[in-house]
Amino acid sequence: MDNLTHSLVGAVLGQAGLKKKTGLAMPALIIGANLPDVDAACFFWLEGTEHLGFRRGITHGPPALVILPLILAALLWAFDRWQEKRGKRPEGRRPVHFGWLYGLSFIGALSHPLFDWLNVYGIRFFEPFSSAWFYGDTLFIIDVWLWAILIVSVWWSLRSEKKGGNWTRPGWIGIAAGLAYIGMNWAITGAAVSDYRAGVGSSSQVIASPMPFYFWQREGFVGADDRWAQLFQLYPEDGHLHAKPLADVECKLPDLAEERIANSQLDAFLFWSRAPFAERAADGSVILRDARFYDPRARDNFSIALPDVECEELPAE
């Protein structure tokens, strides 16, 4: 998910009562909820598609979820000591307890991979012990409705706290509402996948991708052999599933085992890709794409060109 969502998750956890545990609890929760995204620094040393295979891996796995919160807790504890020595420590700050700082940093960090799992990009929960990808297919990466739930609950809680009321109750309501919204979207995805499988056959691969803003809709993809197609459910005309090719001219997926060894860009793309398909370029070569992120208006995103591989066209459907 986007970093605003991660930050709001940390904030609502704090407003549910966790911020009472120690001084600097809110920074521990909010920064902790964003910690695994330190892997975004890979853009400084990786090029092309290499970042696709690096993101949501090592910094989202078990060792990082133990070590990164420890570093954050140590920095926050040191910051508090530094302010105290300089006489700059706010009078209203609660005493800082290192154990609670670490625990809250860990809770915040743990929330991050759980929410990243909810979209179609995927996450490698067990890196470096396993490089398997996991996909929740439940929420779009930027979900304005989840934003609204979390923002309102945090605002309500802060307002109640300022007035001396029960400020933890709005936090818990926000958590419950957020979980209910996620559960509803999980059910929508499950129903869509069931419809797709019933329409195209259980042997086909199907993906139900959440749509931005229209949370009740899913963009369907079906894959078989070398071809991935976009699915459309037509109501009320006939109620049958219809598939449309993603690209104007599709190519057979070539055997790229040898090329993959020598081409780090290709290796990263194929490691990351969940729904790969090949499209013919203007010069007759191949461009590898992924059905989840195929956008004709931004054709260079999430793709890799193979200028030395000739397109072997698939028959039209």
- Look at residue 234 in the predicted model and tell me its pLDDT: 58
CA distance 65 to 45: 23
Q: What is the pLDDT of residue 229?
A: 87
What's the mean pLDDT in 293-303? 76
3-state secondary structure at position 242: strand
Cα Rg for the chain, rounded, in angstroms? 23
**Mean pLDDT, rounded, of the chain:** 91
Grade residue 8 by pLDDT with cuts at 50, 70 and 90: very high
* Packed helices 3-15 and 168-200: angle between N→C axes, nearest 10 degrees: 140
Segment (H or E) for 207: strand 205-210
Distance between CA atoms of 207 and 135, rounded to whole angstroms? 10
- Going by C-beta distance under 8 Å and a sequence separation of 6 or more, which residues neighbour residue 107? 13, 18, 29, 32
